[in-house]
Amino acid sequence: MLHTTVGDLLETKARIQPDIEAVVYADRGLRWSYYDFNQLSRQAAKGFIKLGINKGDHIAIWASNTPEWLVSQFATGKMGAVLVTVNTNYRTAELEYLLKQSDSQSIILMEEFRGASYIDMLYEICPELKSSKPGELKSAKLPFLKNVIVLGENSYPGTYSWKDIMDKGREVEDQELDEILSSLSPHDVINMQYTSGTTGFPKGVMLTHSNIVNNGYNIAGCMRLGSEDRLCIPVPFFHCFGCVLGVLACVSVGATMVPLQEFDAKQVLKTVQDEKCTALHGVPTMFISELNHPDFEQFDLTHLRTGIMAGSNCPIEVMKGVMDKMGADEITIAYGQTESSPVITQTRTHDPIELKVETVGKALPNVEVKIVEPGSNREVPNGVQGELCTRGYHVMKGYYKNDEATRHAIDEDGWLHTGDLAVMDEHGYCRITGRLKDMIIRGGENIYPREIEEFLYSHPKVLDVQVIGIPDEVYGEEVMAWIILKEGQNATSEEIREYCTGKISRHKIPRYFEFTDAYPMTASGKIQKFRLREQAKQTALPKRN
């Protein structure tokens, strides 16, 4: 166990191995040693202090895998502000909810991403920003929000630039930062990630330094990652996959991070080749794209050894391809959830391929796992299905401003109830067999039907809606909405889809729509979603285009 903070972790590595490369962005010629990276993080931390941001304040970050994202992760880790990660797919309704619910005092954002203007969306939510002085925003909708920091060359009314923050950092003495850094506890909340529940809106998962530093460290151990390794990180930083399994796993052992700003299969292959990466992360769909790229054979991947595949089940042929064709014969599988920082179980580097495709591994060091009878704490025997529960250093502090949900998730003995059904063998390896939660996993993204249903209820023509996941060859699952329209109304799939565009994330917009007059019900009036899934096999799947 590491008894340290995120900020001190980087300080230690910079002291021990100052000249080792910490961060490499191959496509932009950016190379930072651990010394450089630490100094930049310190300067940004002092810039945040100069802005009046205090320990415990919330700073949201809405950006892809930029260098500033990395610096912000460790800058907040040094001065104690809580980094609130924002999904790059978010649109106005989701962003407004997150900023309001999280009480974020500041937001760092890109100008735009994949054609969507982040700054315009923020102006839509906070029209007062255009007439505000930087740092003095007074928003009716978002009373906590004061500082807006834009990553880019352009200047926008009411905002700071990233350069402004770094310049302000020169106005604060190192001693002031060091005093704050030394006052931080490993048990302070330092990261907040939003995850949806099955019966409501996204909840802010409060993660401590100890949660994520130790999870990263133990993940690295299961991969046999060391300071000589170079990890290509094409998964997003706003997910725990990126910022814990990627970034903190590397920093915990002094390895080199080689991030991609966003996923592109050919760019991943080129980066692994050019930077001689020894490790690679991804969800199965990413690895499938890489293996099936028409130029795959042109790339030299001989340095590749390990990495992590997570997010959804891995087909055996894909695993064979990653191990044999890509050379990552020590690739591991990881399973968990945001509430567990996130990894609970992981396969080990020398596990046979059968364990890597049929199980999600065994518990990380210092982590307890048990399988219980659903709805109770009674442990079931090996080989019997039940709910997977876990306890240890990795369990979240709780949900922000939601004690009831926290009590529902973590019992009085400290066990986190995952909501996932699993079977454990005699060696502790777990196989996920289903979900108590009605969750859809599309290409590694967790999608919660209730959130989409709540949004679609706001359409003036919709009387009722049920959202389900249906099998898909490309993404594992796709989203389908079954809609009952109000009496006398007519609507098309295109009309409903257009209503969603720009308001909820693209990956949450249902691919399939089916209009119906009624849902299959139990005798007690409960909707039978499994029957909707059965019907979807006849109605939706032939329509895929």
Is 199 a residue whose pLDDT tops 50?
A: no
Is 148 a residue whose pLDDT tops 50?
A: yes
Is 66 a residue whose pLDDT tops 90?
A: yes
Is 442 a residue whose pLDDT tops 50?
A: yes
Q: What is the mean pLDDT of the chain?
A: 93
Final residue of a domain: which of 175, 202, 229? Answer: 202
Domain-located, residue 161 = yes
Domain-located, residue 147 = yes
Per-residue pLDDT tens digits for 444-468: 887 878 789 879 988 999 988 989 9
Per-residue pLDDT tens digits for 259-309: 999 999 999 999 999 999 999 999 888 998 999 999 999 999 999 999 999
Using 50, 70 and 90 to split pLDDT, how confident is the model at 433? confident
Domain-located, residue 427 = no
Domain-located, residue 195 = yes
What does pTM read for this prediction? Answer: 0.85
Using 50, 70 and 90 to split pLDDT, how confident is the model at 74? very high
Domain-located, residue 524 = yes
Final residue of a domain: which of 184, 202, 220? Answer: 202
- The per-residue pLDDT for 198 is 38
Q: State mean pLDDT over 149-176.
A: 97
Domain-located, residue 358 = no
**Spatial contact of 289 and 318, defined as CB atoms under 8 Å apart:** no
Final residue of a domain: which of 186, 202, 218? Answer: 202
- The per-residue pLDDT for 528 is 78
Looking at the structure of the chain, the number of domains it has is 2
For residue 496, give its domain range.
Answer: 440-543
Tokens for 531, please give them: 């029957």
**How many Å apart are CA 22 and CA 34, to the nearest integer?**
5
- The per-residue pLDDT for 277 is 98
CA distances from residue 224 to 182, 287, 492 in whole angstroms, order as listed: 31, 21, 53
Is 545 a residue whose pLDDT tops 50?
A: no
**How many Å apart are CA 187 and CA 66, to the nearest integer?**
28
- The per-residue pLDDT for 197 is 44
Per-residue pLDDT tens digits for 320-364: 999 999 999 999 999 999 999 999 999 999 999 999 999 999 999
Sign of CA dihedral 41, 47, 51, 53: positive
CATH of the domain at 459: 3.30.300.30
Domain-located, residue 211 = no
- The per-residue pLDDT for 526 is 57
Is 510 a residue whose pLDDT tops 50?
A: yes
Among 8, 74, 81, CA closest to 41: 74
The residues, ordered by sequence, that sit 6+ positions from 494 with a Cβ below 8 Å of its Cβ are: none
Tell me the CA end-to-end span of the chain in Å, nearest whole number.
50
**Spatial contact of 422 and 386, defined as CB atoms under 8 Å apart:** yes
**Burial per residue of 168-187, b for 16 or more beta-carbon CB atoms within 10 angstroms, e otherwise:** bbeebeeeebeebbeebebe
Is 524 a residue whose pLDDT tops 70?
A: no
